[in-house]
Amino acid sequence: MTFPLTVGPGETGFLANPDQDKYYFWEGKPTSAQYYVNSQGIPESEACTWSKPGDSKGNWSPVILGTSFDKKEGFTGLSQNPERKDVALNYSITFTGDGVTSPCRYKKSTDEYCQDKECWKRTENPTQGCTVSDVQSLME
């Protein structure tokens, strides 16, 4: 919420990606960094705030992105924000790159999350997201 990142179509940006062995532990288990993914058109001044129930921005954004790594691989996941199961993201997200296994994406055109070749409607399974792993980048 305090470090905004705004990217346009085809652009890239950098996010903190914590080491699971050195980051925060919850009930003895490793955690990841979590980011609220706002819809296109929400300005940073509104996207990076604690909103109120019913809003579709800030902590009430449609999608949450999580990221972390361990000794073997990196992980990045997408999921519907459990506080806004009723709101779809207004653009698509696809994770690509060298070493990416089992691609993860959200497809706006069909309102689906996909893991590799399996896809499901966001509205039919709003708690199921997808996770991509990347072994290659950690070995370089």
Segment 50-59, tens digit of pLDDT: 888 889 999 9
62 lies in some domain: yes
7 lies in some domain: no
Separation between Cα atoms, residue 3 and residue 25, nearest integer Å: 22
Element (H, E) at 44: helix 44-47
121 lies in some domain: yes
What pLDDT is attached to residue 140?
42
Separation between Cα atoms, residue 85 and residue 81, nearest integer Å: 6
20 lies in some domain: no
72 lies in some domain: yes
Instruction: Give me 53's structure tokens.
Output: 């129930």
Instruction: Give me 135's structure tokens.
Output: 């072994």
Mean pLDDT across 3-14 = 83
Between 87 and 51, residue with greater pLDDT: 87
pLDDT at 6 over 90: no
Mean pLDDT of the chain: 87
pLDDT at 78 over 80: yes
pTM here is 0.86
Instruction: Give me 51's structure tokens.
Output: 């909103």
What pLDDT is attached to residue 132?
87
Pairing of strands 29-30, 33-37: unpaired
Structurally, the chain folds into a number of domains equal to 1
Give the range of the structural domain holding residue 31, as residue numbers without chain letter: 25-139
DSSP letter at 49 equals S
106 lies in some domain: yes
